[in-house]
Every structure is written in structure tokens, then in C-alpha cells.
């Protein structure tokens, strides 16, 4: 049975979620503060999905997400953001959330999103050894002067200098989008629309933070990038094999 942790301070909403998710066959725990959520996670309670409200008393959803990331607590997370706060969405992804819904949301959509997170959950677990016949070709892109860097979009692992970095889903989506446009400048607005499905009037600054983070992973010297170049007045450009 899949276990869901709901972090929501509006008790009627938390209980509504519990009732409906239990009816769908999930085991549900609810807490009403970020601190209580972190306590449960630190205690080692295993959850398959976290539903995390942004607006919480005390530590908010961003704070919870940030601590989870810093302490390696990897649970697929869907954030609940307030309507009209599209910047919250980017902040949430920046903090490491995997998906989001804007309140008020349709329950059928929430359940579909949870199923989506459960399907992607495999990348958070150590790979089991599948039977050779069942193994699918992996979605891997190799780059770098000596083909010494590669990213596996199935496992969300990025290998650079014999080091492995675990990307968040959104870091991986952004990197894939850049790779798909290899050699061409990509505007911040098109990243917002295609990677995050956000309107173009959203603040684009968080994108720069995503790029800074990707550079830290994949550049030999993040201060003089060779793969993720800045294109002044436009955005960024990915170069697979620097000259
Ligand atoms: Ca709230």
C-alpha cells in the first residue's frame, strides 16, 4: 500500500484529502506543521509521496523542502500553492519540489498527479537488478570533450568527473530542454513556458539560480562555463562539446 504524508494546516482540507486518498487505497498520515512533517521524515517513517502546502504556520513549505534536500530526505513531493502566486511555483521547484497544484484544485487531478509521482519514484530508490530481457535502453545523453560526462534521464543521475549528482526532476527537465536545443540560444521565457508551463509574465530570476546550480554540477569551472553559456539579452545556450 502506498503511503502519503499530507502537510496541511487547514484541517477541513487535510481531512478531505485523507478521506478521498484512503478511498483510493492509499495509507494517509496528516500533520499540520512543517516541523511535524520533518520530525516524521527524520524518524525514518517511509512515505511514497509528500503533499506539502506552501503556506504553513512556522516553517513553511519552502523551508521543509530545503531541509529535506539538505539532509538527503528524498520523497517525491507535490506542493500546494496559492492561486496567483506563480513565483511560488518556481521557488518550490528551486527548493526541490517535483510537481505542484494551485489551490483550489480538482481532486481527480491531484490523484492523477500522485500516480505520476509514484511512477517516477523509481529514481529515488537504489536500482534493482532487472532481468536482462526486461531491461530497456536507458535515456542517456553523453557530452564533454572526452565524452566524460553523461546524464541519465531515467535515473536523474548526472555523472561528471567520476562524481554523481542526483538531479531534481525540474533540474533534469531544464537540462533536457537545453540539450534538445543544443547550439541555439534559448530565452528565459521559453524555458518558463516549456519547462515549467508558466506564463511569461512570471519572474524569471529563479531560472538563473537553476542555471547556476546546473553549472556547479557539470562545469569544470562554474565561473567560466563551457557547456551552459550565457547569451546576453536572450538567455542561455547549451554546448555539448566545447571547442
Ligand atoms: Ca495553509
CATH number at residue 192: 1.10.10.10
* 99, part of any domain: yes
Question: Taking a C-beta distance cutoff of 8 angstroms, is the pair 156, 206 a contact?
Answer: no
Q: What is the pLDDT along the chain (243 residues), one digit of tens a residue?
A: 899 999 999 999 999 999 999 999 999 999 999 999 999 999 988 899 999 999 999 999 999 999 998 887 878 899 998 876 777 888 888 888 888 888 989 999 899 889 878 876 554 444 444 444 444 567 899 999 989 999 998 888 899 988 888 888 788 889 999 999 999 999 998 998 888 777 767 777 778 888 998 999 999 999 999 999 999 999 999 999 998
In this structure, the dihedral spanned by the alpha carbons of residues 126, 131, 134 and 139, taken in order and rounded to 10 degrees, is: 40
CA distance 238 to 14: 43
The total domain count for the chain is 2
Find the 54 Cα to ligand 1 centroid distance in Å: 6
CA distance 239 to 228: 7
Q: For the whole model, what pTM was predicted?
A: 0.66
Q: Are 116 and 35 members of one domain?
A: yes
Q: Are 22 and 120 members of one domain?
A: yes
Find the 58 Cα to ligand 1 centroid distance in Å: 11
CA distance 8 to 30: 7
Q: Are 91 and 146 members of one domain?
A: no
Find the 36 Cα to ligand 1 centroid distance in Å: 14
* Domain coverage including residue 67: 3-124
Strands (E), the chain: 3-7, 27-31, 49-53, 77-81, 99-102, 140-143, 149-152, 157-160, 163-166, 185-187, 228-231, 235-238
CA distance 109 to 49: 15
Q: Are 163 and 109 members of one domain?
A: no
Find the 30 Cα to ligand 1 centroid distance in Å: 13
Q: Are 12 and 120 members of one domain?
A: yes
Find the 235 Cα to ligand 1 centroid distance in Å: 35
Amino acid at each position: 500500500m502506498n503511503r502519503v504524508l499530507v502537510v496541511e494546516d487547514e484541517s477541513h482540507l487535510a481531512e478531505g484529502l485523507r478521506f478521498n486518498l484512503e478511498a483510493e487505497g492509499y495509507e494517509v498520515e496528516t500533520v499540520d506543521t512543517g516541523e511535524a512533517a520533518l520530525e516524521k521524515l527524520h524518524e525514518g517513517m517511509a512515505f511514497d509521496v509528500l503533499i506539502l502546502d506552501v503556506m504553513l504556520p512556522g516553517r513553511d513549505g519552502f523551508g521543509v523542502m530545503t531541509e529535506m534536500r539538505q539532509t538527503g530526505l528524498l520523497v517525491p513531493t507535490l506542493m500546494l500553492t496559492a492561486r496567483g502566486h506563480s513565483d511560488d511555483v518556481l521557488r518550490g521547484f528551486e527548493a526541490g519540489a517535483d510537481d505542484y497544484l494551485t489551490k483550489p484544485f480538482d481532486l481527480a487531478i491531484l490523484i492523477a498527479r500522485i500516480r505520476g509521482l509514484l511512477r517516477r519514484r523509481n529514481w529515488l530508490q537504489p536500482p534493482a537488478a532487472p532481468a536482462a530481457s526486461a531491461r530497456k535502453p536507458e535515456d542517456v545523453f553523453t557530452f564533454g570533450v572526452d565524452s566524460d560526462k553523461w546524464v541519465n534521464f531515467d535515473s536523474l543521475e548526472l555523472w561528471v568527473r567520476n562524481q554523481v549528482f542526483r538531479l531534481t526532476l525540474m533540474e533534469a527537465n531544464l537540462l533536457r530542454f537545453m540539450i534538445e536545443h543544443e547550439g541555439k540560444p534559448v530565452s528565459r521565457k521559453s524555458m518558463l513556458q516549456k519547462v515549467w508551463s508558466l506564463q511569461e509574465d512570471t519572474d524569471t530570476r529563479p531560472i538563473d539560480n537553476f542555471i547556476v546550480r546546473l553549472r556547479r554540477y557539470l562545469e569544470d569551472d562554474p565561473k567560466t562555463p563551457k557547456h551552459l553559456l550565457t547569451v546576453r539579452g536572450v538567455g542561455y545556450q547549451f554546448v555539448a562539446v566545447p571547442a
